[in-house]
């Protein structure tokens, strides 16, 4: 298949996500067994967390700037590396929120918000 025959999504998966994941795995000594075909098979058109439509391709916002609805390749459990079954495409916004928080911290935030909303309804 020629590059000119590929969609924006396919090009981004091949040129960006696959190669960047492979490089990060090597640099960080993480397991890696992904293939382009596997990534294409799990790539959806919307964020599974926020249900917002992905905007595949260049952001047009300049170097280092990413749109909130841009797809990112997330390691579900970071220590397991870039392996089949441990990666998913999620929005930049979801990935940024998830980035530095532990599971316990995310639950605490969600619980606090729930409590605040519940208290306002009384």
Could you read off the pLDDT of 33-63 as tens digits, one per residue? 999 999 999 999 999 999 999 988 776 565 6
74 domain-assigned: yes
Task: Output DSSP code: residue 44.
Answer: -
Residue 94 has pLDDT above 60, yes or no: yes
Q: How many domains does the chain contain in total?
A: 1
Return the number of other C-beta atoms located less than 10 Å from residue 36's C-beta. 14
**pTM, rounded to two decimals:** 0.80
- Domain of residue 54 covers 3-93
Alpha carbon distance 61, 90 (integer Å):
19
114 domain-assigned: no
| Higher pLDDT, residue 109 or 21 | 21
86 domain-assigned: yes
116 domain-assigned: no
59 domain-assigned: yes
């Amino acid at each position: 298949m020629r590059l000119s025959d590929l969609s924006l999504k396919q090009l981004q998966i091949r040129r960006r996500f696959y190669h960047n994941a492979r490089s990060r795995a090597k640099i960080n000594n993480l397991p890696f067994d992904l293939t382009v075909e596997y990534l294409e098979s799990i790539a959806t058109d919307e964020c599974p967390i926020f249900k917002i439509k992905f905007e595949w391709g260049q952001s047009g916002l300049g170097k280092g700037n990413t749109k909130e609805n841009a797809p990112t390749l997330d390691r579900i459990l970071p220590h397991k590396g870039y392996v089949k079954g441990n990666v998913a495409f999620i929005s930049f916004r979801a990935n940024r929120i998830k980035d530095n928080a532990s599971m316990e911290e995310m639950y605490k935030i969600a619980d606090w918000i729930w409590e605040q909303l519940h208290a306002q309804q009384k």
